[in-house]
Amino acid sequence: MGRIIIYDGAEEIGGSKILVETGKDKFLLDFGLNYKRRGLYFEEFLNPRVANGIGDLYYLGLIPPIKGLYRKDLTKKLCQNGNEELGKGDEPSPVDCIFVSHAHFDHSAYISMVREDIPIFASSTTIALLKAMEESGATNFETSMFKFIKRDTTSSKNEEKYGTHDIRSIDSSVHLTESVVSPFSVDHSVPGAVGFVIQSPQATIVYSGDLRLHGKRRKDTEKFVHSAKESKPDFFLVEGTNLGEKESGEFWTEQRVYEEANEVFKKSEGLIIVNFSIRDVDRFLTFYELAKAYGRKFVLTLRDAYLLKAMREIGLGVPGLDDPSIYFYLEKRRSGTYCDEDYREAWFKNIFTVIDSGKLLKASDIKKNEKEFLIILRFFDLQELVDIQPRPGSVYIHSSSEAHTEEQTIDETRLDNWLKAFGLPPKVHIHASGHAKREDIFGIIQEINAKVVLPIHTEHSEEIKKQFPDRVRIVKNFDIVNI
């Protein structure tokens, strides 16, 4: 007999951590950061202490107590005080490997806490995106997988100071001792997302990851659904992010996003500021096409330029950094004088070698003729408004996901305050969800026809239960499902 344990992300959106045990294989599906729970305890000036390893996360229930799963350097502090539940990090590994469904931190980030000798499998696109994000950001205790700081050494030698995970790309099936785990591309708001079909002697299990049917790569999701159906699954772990949304009006297609944004472009007399994740290829292309149609230069921060370069290199069909419409925003750093020394990190140097320096724009360059530009600024780039001082007629388009966590709701209030402070009109929200709408989730469940449906990644599992009362088993975190 085997079992499935949903350690996290059952009746909430994000933080997915699912253990599958067959007779001879044990592996995890996703190991994400639960933003909602993290937000219950932490905020911008109150963070988990690096000096306590995984201690703060463990005591607040942000990581499950699985003995031997975590990095030795992070468990050391706890073990000195004697922690039976977590072990010392040198026990035999409790899992053979971890499968990551896509490059969103609510599914991938806490891999950073896991022992570095446990193989991590993800699609090559997911790996490239996570790597580029990590390289262009600060080394972060909670998200670094490719180069993390070992917390039990004071050595300054690179080989002793840094560690890395064993990350392997899968674009076809992985054969474990007795199970076969097969990834299938699905459409989501980030490229490289996959769902999994797991075949083992005990049961066939399908895991949706995050997916949708109303996006441009609908066919990928349909193929996944077809293959999942063919496998005649016993269990279907299905995401239900949007089950609470009874009105489909919010689920604009990418075409609708284009049309709505087009109306905004038509009327705009000043700078157009847009907030979306550059990893969302469809959204990127929508705004890139609009910028071109209106003869506006498409301006990216250097961090986004770094990601775009990585996306281009893995063949994601995005324009290159030498594209004539694409320009770059040089933010003021450290000394505030734009001198070379202010941009000394390796990734900055890397990007400076591949872009035309004539296309690097400072705030003052944008200010001179705001009507010529569209600039992508994220929430965390809002300070740039102080330097740019957008004039009346400028507009801010918010084109990223719905607020799922309390923290994001607060961020939206802050965003509104920023816009007010600069005399800008309220944000225009134009977005197509990365997650399937309610009716599509029901359709997918019907089609795949698993014997048991386990809703996860949702605050509304009862909606699926109402629709399929005989097949749905509502699961909570730490529930054990025997297979």
Contact 273, 366 (CB under 8 A): no
Q: How many residues bind Zn ion (CB under 5 A)?
A: 4
Q: How far is the CB of 268 from Zn ion (least distance, A)?
A: 31
Token pair for residue 329? 């925003």
Amino acid identity of residue 452, one-letter, is V
Give the containing element (helix H, strand E) for 275: strand 272-275
- The one segment of 59-67, 102-110, 268-276, 419-427 that binds Zn ion by CB under 5 A: 102-110
Q: Which is nearer to Zn ion, 236 or 329 (CB)?
A: 236
Taking residues 35 to 54 in sequence order and writing x for each that binds Zn ion by CB under 5 A, - otherwise, the string is --------------------
- The one segment of 39-47, 67-75, 209-217, 340-348 that binds Zn ion by CB under 5 A: 209-217
Site membership for Zn ion, residue 279 (CB under 5 A): no
Q: How far is the CB of 49 from Zn ion (least distance, A)?
A: 27
Contact 453, 472 (CB under 8 A): yes
**Helices and strands per DSSP (H, E), number in the chain:** 16, 22
Q: How far is the CB of 28 from Zn ion (least distance, A)?
A: 15
Q: How far is the CB of 366 from Zn ion (least distance, A)?
A: 32
Q: Give dist(CA 222, CA 186) in Å, integer.
A: 8
Q: How far is the CB of 42 from Zn ion (least distance, A)?
A: 19
What DSSP letter does each residue of 455-483 carry, written as one string? EES-S-HHHHHHHSTTTB----TTEEEE-
Q: Which is nearer to Zn ion, 13 or 363 (CB)?
A: 13
Taking residues 3 to 22 in sequence order and writing x for each that binds Zn ion by CB under 5 A, - otherwise, the string is -----------x--------
Q: Give dist(CA 32, CA 8) in Å, integer.
A: 9
Q: DSSP alpha helices (H): ranges in 109-252?
A: 124-135, 158-161, 218-230
Q: Give dist(CA 399, CA 433) in Å, integer.
A: 10
Taking residues 133 to 152 in sequence order and writing x for each that binds Zn ion by CB under 5 A, - otherwise, the string is --------------------
Residues 314-373 that bind Zn ion (CB under 5 A): none
Token pair for residue 410? 């607060």
- The one segment of 101-109, 282-290, 329-337, 406-414 that binds Zn ion by CB under 5 A: 101-109
Cβ neighbours of 244 (radius 10 Å): 12
- 87 alpha-carbon distance from chain centroid: 30
Contact 388, 272 (CB under 8 A): no
Q: Give dist(CA 23, CA 482) in Å, integer.
A: 12
Q: Which is nearer to Zn ion, 390 or 434 (CB)?
A: 434
Q: Give dist(CA 353, CA 301) in Å, integer.
A: 16
What DSSP letter does each residue of 307-324 carry, written as one string? HHHHHHHTT-S---TT-T
Question: Which of 104, 165, 427, 438 is in the footprint of Zn ion by CB under 5 A?
Answer: 104
Q: How far is the CB of 64 from Zn ion (least distance, A)?
A: 18
Q: How far is the CB of 421 from Zn ion (least distance, A)?
A: 32
Q: How far is the CB of 283 from Zn ion (least distance, A)?
A: 14
Site membership for Zn ion, residue 440 (CB under 5 A): no
Q: Which is nearer to Zn ion, 106 or 134 (CB)?
A: 106
Question: Which of 210, 220, 282, 440 is in the footprint of Zn ion by CB under 5 A?
Answer: 210
- The one segment of 37-45, 104-112, 139-147, 176-184 that binds Zn ion by CB under 5 A: 104-112
Q: Give dist(CA 422, CA 15) in Å, integer.
A: 36
Contact 206, 429 (CB under 8 A): no
Site membership for Zn ion, residue 106 (CB under 5 A): yes
Q: Which is nearer to Zn ion, 14 or 183 (CB)?
A: 14
Q: How far is the CB of 185 from Zn ion (least distance, A)?
A: 14
Binding region for Zn ion (CB under 5 A): 14, 104, 106, 210
